[in-house]
Amino acid sequence: MPEQAIPAHGRARPDAPVDYSTTATTANAAAHGIEAELRRDLGTGAAAAMATAHLDAGGRRIRARLALELIPATGISQNAAMAAACSAELLHNASLVHDDIQDRTSLRRGQPTLVARHGAEAALCVGDLLISAAWAALARLPVDCLPAAMGCMHAALAATCSGQVEDLTHACIDETAYQRIAAGKSGPLLALPVQLMAILVGRSDLDGAIAKVAEALAHGYQIEDDLADAAEDRLLGRPNLVCLYEDRGLSTVAARRLAAEHARSALEQARNDAAALPAGLGSSLGALAVAIQRRNDTWSADVA
């Protein structure tokens, strides 16, 4: 389909740009109706109630918003964009539940995790339910897009699982391994909503280019977390770039400064590569990279 063409799935009314700042909450996403849609396929019963409680704990809904923010640029209908948004966001939340089981995390978003409240066995079932709901959301995409979308979502899931397993082995021995783990854990589900939107406008050929942007973005995103969580990660033995530099003999200040420089470089690459994507498909990823860099600048100022 030509980039300038209006998709057959209908042109939607342009919405206000999404705010990716640190003060943004689910209110931005709720304006698009995302909160109700995320719960649409959870059903009833104990597992559904636990999944709802997990979603009720909050979150910025970044992956959903990466898709919804592209509505004005792509002309994709609200319904199709919402299906793409929910698929990616539900998978991300499933990964959080499973991650909490693996890491034995007791708190997330300031509240007890499902594994802390209900045990690992119940939490595992809830994570599986969220994955199943993601496929149900994907099924609401236009029929002609489903084969490509299903393959894309499977690839994102497979890559995320691979990255998580590598992270669990703590095989982070150098910057190259660190970058590979960060890209594998977070990159696929950051790329997925944009890849699904690209499929909706007939540009599945951009999957690789979008993945490249998301990998660089994930690298910077993970370093931001490392800067915030270095002490906790040290205690728990988790891979952390700041700790890696400290183990090489750098002072804490120097380690944090060097990590922040790596984040800045990765995020600059993400912004540049996002800007090069055609049909405005890189705009939401580019905006997220800018927001992360602003937070990274705050960390850098703390160690200046």
Give residue-wise pLDDT tens across range 27-75.
454 455 899 999 999 999 999 999 999 999 989 999 999 999 999 999 9
Chain Cα centroid distance, residue 148: 20
Q: CA separation (Å) from 92 to 7, 151, 247, 299?
A: 27, 17, 31, 26
Residue 86 or 19, more confident = 86
Kindly report the number of other CB atoms within 10 A of residue 234's CB atom. 14
What does the pLDDT read at residue 27? 41
Q: Answer yes or no: are the C-beta atoms of 105 and 99 closer than 8 Å.
A: yes
In this prediction the pTM is 0.87
- For position 5, what pLDDT does the model report? 34
> Please, what is the average pLDDT of the chain?
87
Contact 194, 66 (CB under 8 A): yes
- Rounded to the nearest 5°, which phi and psi values hold at 259? -60, -40
**From residue 91, how far is each of 38, 47, 99 by CA, in Å?**
11, 16, 12
Where does 145-304 sit in CATH, by number?
Answer: 1.10.600.10
Token reading at 38 = 């995320």
Per-residue pLDDT averaged across 118-146, rounded?
98
Binning pLDDT at 50, 70 and 90, where does residue 4 land? very low
Beta bridge pairs of residue 107: 112
CATH 1.10.600.10 residue ranges of the chain are 9-141, 145-304
Q: Which CATH superfamily is domain 9-141 in?
A: Farnesyl Diphosphate Synthase (1.10.600.10)
Residue 200 CA to residue 237 CA, distance in Å, equals 42
Which pLDDT band holds residue 121 (cuts at 50, 70, 90)? Answer: very high
pLDDT tens track for 232-287: 888 877 788 999 999 999 999 999 999 999 999 999 999 999 999 999 999 999 99
